Amino acid sequence: MADLERTYNVPLRKGAMKAPRYKRANKAVKVLREFLERHMKSKTVKLGPYLNSKVLERGRKNIPHHVEVKVVKDKDGIVKAELASAKNLDFLKPKEEKKEKESRLKIPGLGKKLLPSTEKKPKEEKKVEKTEKEKVLEKPDEKVEEKVEKKSAPEPKKEETKAEAVKAEREKVYGRFDKKPKVKEQTKKK
Going residue by residue through the chain (190 aa), what tens digit of pLDDT does each one get?
A: 568 899 999 999 999 999 999 999 999 999 999 999 999 999 999 999 999 999 999 999 999 999 999 999 998 899 999 999 988 888 778 766 555 555 566 666 665 555 555 555 555 555 556 666 566 566 555 554 555 555 555 555 556 677 787 777 766 655 555 555 556 666 666 5
Task: Tell me the whole-structure pTM to 2 decimals.
Answer: 0.49
Residue 175 lies in a domain: no
Question: Is 24 inside a domain boundary?
Answer: yes
Q: How many domains does the chain fold into? A: 1
CB burial readout 32-43, b (16+ within 10 A) else e = bbebbeeebebe
CA pseudo-torsion sign 161, 164, 167, 168: negative
Containing structural domain, residue 81: 4-96+105-113
Asked if residue 73 is part of any domain, the answer here is yes
What H or E segment, with its residue span, contains residue 149? Answer: helix 142-152
